Amino acid sequence: MFAARFSRSLSHWIFLAGLLLAVAAQAADPLPSWRAGTAKQAIVGFVERVTDSRGKDYVSPPERIAVFDNDGTLWAEQPVYFPLLFAFDRLRALAPAHPEWADKPVFQAALAGDLKGALAGGEKGMVELVEATYEGDIDAFRAEVKAWLASARHPLTGRRYDAMVYQPMLEVLRYLRANGFKTYIVTGGDVEFMRAFAERAYGVPHEQVIGSRLKLVVGDNAAGRAPAVEFINDGKGKVASIVAQIGRRPIAAFGNSDGDLPMLQWTAGGSGARLMAYVHHTDARREFAYDRKSPIGKLDKGLDAALAGNWVIADMARDWLTIYPR
């Protein structure tokens, strides 16, 4: 009897000790989904340097600004940007009230589920789709995005789109904020689409989301948007948005495509310690593999700049233990 009780008690304490050790190990490792290697070491080393008040690279908290692209950097973007897939679904819902869309080949391709045909219109065609489906009351639009994210599924993975955020990047966001950084999303996607879920998914509040936008229409007690794209937040436009809306040069920037290159170069151009990082999609088994020749998320000039500048290149297959949250 005594031996049995002793054995159960010992097993209980061994279990608790193991649990405490696991918790302690996770607390000691701020990036548990990253494999040990140069990318993880560079991120952790940078944060340690800029937060050490005794070191030469110390940066005061107000200057600790980190900017992140979204599509392909914080969540997946294949086979096409998720906000555009939302536009396709909304187009189908709105089509019965718009017979004039029958004369638009890009719209007809989208309605037929012809992804290649819908993309054949290039940026102009994508802008027309967004203008037709993103207009209207802002609060109602955000509610529609939330409902779509709760019900829609990715055509290849079967996952909810907001379940295809990257666990390793969630850890980077939390790690930076825990060390006095203010984190901003600077995306080429629509700003109101992002604001519908960014705080819940990433911990980034509405006022720290910067994106492309439609023209605002403001009434006495309502705010809506006209079917006219006012600003595309990509390339050098990202730098212009950072200057206008943040007012400080970031000391850390994360992207995944050539559209993010000016933002990373702008970050690199400041004085003191800097962190420029690219997410490199190399994992065809767990996610997608693409870079220089991809029509979505092309990484060509940016990859060359990263290699030449000794920036961080986070290789998904090599550096990430897991891709999506479990």
Q: What is the DSSP string of 38-77?
A: HHHHHHHHHHHHHH-TTSTT---GGG-EEEE--BTTTB--
Type of residue found at 197? F
Q: What mean pLDDT comes out for the span 224-230?
A: 97
The predicted structure's pLDDT at residue 2: 47
Q: What pLDDT is attached to residue 21?
A: 42
Instruction: Give the per-residue pLDDT at 222.
Output: 85
The pLDDT-based confidence of 28 (bands split at 50, 70, 90) is: confident
pLDDT at 74: 98
pLDDT of residue 23: 40
In this prediction, residue 5 carries a pLDDT of 52
pTM summary value: 0.91
Q: 15 pLDDT exceeds 70?
A: no
Give the residue extent of every domain in the chain.
Answer: 35-78+161-319, 82-151
Q: Is the pLDDT of residue 24 over 50?
A: no
Mean pLDDT of 250-275: 98
Sheet holding 182-190, edge to edge: 136-137, 223-231, 209-218, 182-190, 65-68, 252-255, 275-280, 312-315
The per-residue pLDDT for 11 is 52
Instruction: State residue 232's pLDDT score.
Output: 97
308-312: average pLDDT = 98
- With 90 as the cut, is the pLDDT of residue 25 above it? no
The pLDDT of residue 221 is: 85
pLDDT beyond 50 at 43: yes
pLDDT reading at 71 higher than 60: yes
Where does the chain have alpha helices with state H? 2-28, 38-51, 82-94, 105-111, 115-119, 122-134, 138-151, 167-178, 191-195, 198-202, 236-241, 261-268, 301-309, 316-319
The CATH number of 35-78+161-319 is 3.40.50.1000
pLDDT of the residue at 174: 98
Average pLDDT over the chain, rounded to whole?
93
Distance CA 138, CA 276 (A): 34
Nearest CA-CA partner of 281 in 304, 262, 255, 309: 255
Comparing 37 with 5, the larger pLDDT belongs to: 37
Q: Would you say residue 253 has pLDDT above 90?
A: yes
**Helix axes of 261-268 and 301-309: crossing angle, nearest 10 degrees:** 20
pLDDT interval class at 10 (50, 70, 90): very low
In the DSSP assignment, the letter for residue 201 is H
- Whether the per-residue pLDDT at 89 is higher than 50: the answer is yes
Q: How confident is the model at residue 17 (pLDDT cuts 50, 70, 90)?
A: very low
Compute the average pLDDT of residues 268-282. Answer: 98
Residue 19 has pLDDT above 60, yes or no: no
Cα 323 vs. chain centroid, distance in angstroms? Answer: 13
